[in-house]
Amino acid sequence: MKKGGNTVIILIVVILLVYFAFSSYNGLINLDEKVNKSYADLQTAVQRRADLIPNLVNTVKGYASHEEETFTKITEARSKLSQATNPTELSQANAELTKAIGDINVVVEAYPELKANENFIQLQDELAGTENRIAVARRDYNDVVNTFNSKVRKFPTSIFANMLGFSPRAYFEADPGTENAPTVDFGLIVRESYIG
């Protein structure tokens, strides 16, 4: 009787362990997919911004064709965005593009007729909207990464996570100094041109 009782207990423990392992694995898979989807959404928002830049640059070039250094920086920054393979690289490329776009502010200040250009006004509105999308996508991505990383690191799920190859994912972090990034909202400039 004692031998059969021990076998039942061992069997119950094994069944519970197997159930917990499958439950943990499925939970990690779901969170991993949420991280992947959030990262794809973030990439899409950043790419949308990068896709707007050539139109903005062409509009500005029509007024300031001699500002080649600024345009070259923007082209290089856009190229780095498409080559980014992880959140860290994407974050760095995004920061470079933000700085390069900020350099256009200086160019725009010198050309009052550009500030009133209808195409330029529309592009700056789209760019401002895209900046908001990027901020939301970055927040959403970091939230789901936080949830995933917490799950992967908590005991006892951490045991199964390590055995199954799950490890914490990288956050989309701003580079040092980008908290003071140049303003890319040309709306203030445009509105001032109508008032002044």
Report the distance separating Cα 19 and Cα 13, nearest Å. 10
Report the distance separating Cα 52 and Cα 167, nearest Å. 35
Q: How high is the pLDDT of residue 193?
A: 36
Q: Which residues of the chain are modeled with pLDDT < 70? A: 1-4, 65-66, 174-196
Residue 81's closest CA among 94, 70, 72? 94
Q: How high is the pLDDT of residue 41?
A: 93
**Cβ-based neighbour number of residue 112 at 10 Å:** 13
Which distant-in-sequence residues (6+ apart) come within 8 Å of 38 by Cβ? 137, 140, 141, 143, 144, 145
**Cβ-based neighbour number of residue 7 at 10 Å:** 10
12-67: per-residue pLDDT in tens? 988 988 888 788 889 899 999 999 999 999 999 988 888 888 888 888 877 776 67
Contact 81, 33 (CB under 8 A): no
Q: How high is the pLDDT of residue 179?
A: 47
HSE of 28, CA atoms in CB hemisphere, 13 A:
26
Q: How high is the pLDDT of residue 111?
A: 76
pTM above 0.85, yes or no: no
Q: What separation in angstroms does the CA of 46 have from each of 78, 99, 147?
A: 10, 14, 23
Q: How high is the pLDDT of residue 174?
A: 64
Q: Where are the alpha helices (DSSP H) in 111-168?
A: 112-115, 118-153, 157-163
Q: How high is the pLDDT of residue 4?
A: 67
Q: What separation in angstroms does the CA of 195 have from each of 82, 114, 191?
A: 39, 15, 6
Report the distance separating Cα 114 and Cα 168, nearest Å. 47
